[in-house]
Amino acid sequence: MDAERAIAELGVLIYPGAQMAAVHGLTDLFGVANRIAAEHQSAQLPLLRISHWQVEGDQPPVRVFDSHPAPERALVAVLIPPSIAGFTEGQAPLGLIRWLREQHARGATLGGVCVGSILLAESGLLDGRSATTHWTSAKTFAERYPAIRLKADTPIVDDGDLITTAGLMAWSELGLRLVNRLLGPSIATSTARFLVVEHSDSASECGSNFAPILSHGDVAILKVQHWLQSTGATDVSLAAMAEKAGMEERTFLRRFRAATALKPTEYCQHLRVGKAREMLEFTNGTIDHIAWTVGYQDPGAFRATFKKITGLAPSDYRTRFGVTPGAATR
Residue 2: predicted pLDDT: 52
Which residues contact residue 34 at a Cβ distance below 8 angstroms, ignoring those fewer than 6 apart? 47, 48
Could you report the average pLDDT of every consecutive run of 10 residues in the chain (330 residues)?
A: 76 93 97 92 87 92 94 93 72 89 96 91 94 90 94 88 91 93 88 87 67 90 94 90 96 96 95 91 90 94 94 92 56
Which residues contact residue 215 at a Cβ distance below 8 angstroms, ignoring those fewer than 6 apart? 74, 76, 107, 108
Domain assignment present for residue 329? The answer is no
**Distance, CA of 178 to CA of 222 (rounded, Å):** 19
Count of other CB atoms within 10 angstroms of residue 256? 24
Domain assignment present for residue 328? The answer is no
CATH number at residue 202: 3.40.50.880
Residue 327: predicted pLDDT: 45
Domain assignment present for residue 316? The answer is yes
Question: 183, 206, 229 — which closes off a domain?
Answer: 206
Residue 207: predicted pLDDT: 63
Same domain assignment for residues 190 and 41: yes
Same domain assignment for residues 231 and 198: no
Same domain assignment for residues 41 and 149: yes
Q: Report the SS3 class of residue 47.
A: strand
Structural domain tally of the chain?
2
Same domain assignment for residues 165 and 63: yes
**Among the listed residues 238, 257, 258, 233, the one whose alpha carbon sits nearest the alpha carbon of residue 248:** 238
Q: HSE-up of 31 (CA within 13 Å, CB side)?
A: 10
Residue 234: predicted pLDDT: 86
Indicate the pTM of the whole model.
Answer: 0.78
Same domain assignment for residues 264 and 238: yes
Look up the domain containing 9 and give its range: 2-206
CATH number at residue 303: 1.10.10.60
Residue 326: predicted pLDDT: 43
Residue 185: predicted pLDDT: 82
Q: What are phi and psi of 283, to 5 degrees?
A: -130, 170
Same domain assignment for residues 142 and 266: no
E-strand spans in 145-208?
149-150, 156-158, 162-165
